[in-house]
């Protein structure tokens, strides 16, 4: 079964607990990740300022996780996406 990681690096570092966003640095930036392995799908948001990780399970029947990841990230983080990567293994 294919394993997929779709990773978006953001131009902000934020704090969930403080409801705060500041510009990212090269060493500290938020990420949004979508991960598929072993028939499971996950979304992971990492808040750089807090070093806080939020993990959400997604429907295991999602057929095109890459399309979902791109659309969801564009909707919620489109103005702060700096770069994105897709890594897949068999």
In whole angstroms, what is the distance from residue 78 CA to residue 38 CA? Answer: 29
67: confidence class by pLDDT, cuts 50, 70, 90: very high
pTM: 0.94
pLDDT of 90 reads 86
Residue 63 falls in which region: left (phi positive, over 0), alpha (psi -120 to 50) or beta = alpha
Evaluate if residue 1 carries a pLDDT over 80.
no
Specify the residue for token string 């992971």. 44
In whole angstroms, what is the distance from residue 66 CA to residue 85 CA? Answer: 10
Percent helix / strand / coil, the chain, rounded to 5: 15, 50, 35
β-strand pairing of 31-37 with 40-47 = antiparallel
Tell me the pLDDT of the chain averaged across its residues.
Answer: 97
Residue 74 falls in which region: left (phi positive, over 0), alpha (psi -120 to 50) or beta = alpha
Question: Residues 18-53: pLDDT tens digits?
Answer: 999 999 999 999 999 999 999 999 999 999 999 999
pLDDT of 40 reads 97
Percent of the chain with pLDDT over 90: 97
């Amino acid at each position: 079964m294919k394993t997929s990681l779709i990773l978006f690096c953001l131009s902000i570092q934020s704090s969930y607990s403080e409801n705060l966003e500041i510009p990212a640095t090269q060493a500290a930036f938020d990420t949004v990740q979508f991960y598929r392995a072993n028939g499971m799908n996950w979304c992971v948001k990492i808040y750089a300022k807090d070093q806080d990780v939020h993990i959400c399970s997604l429907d295991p029947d999602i057929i095109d996780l890459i399309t979902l990841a791109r659309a969801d990230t564009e909707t919620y983080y489109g103005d702060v996406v700096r770069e994105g990567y897709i890594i897949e293994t068999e």
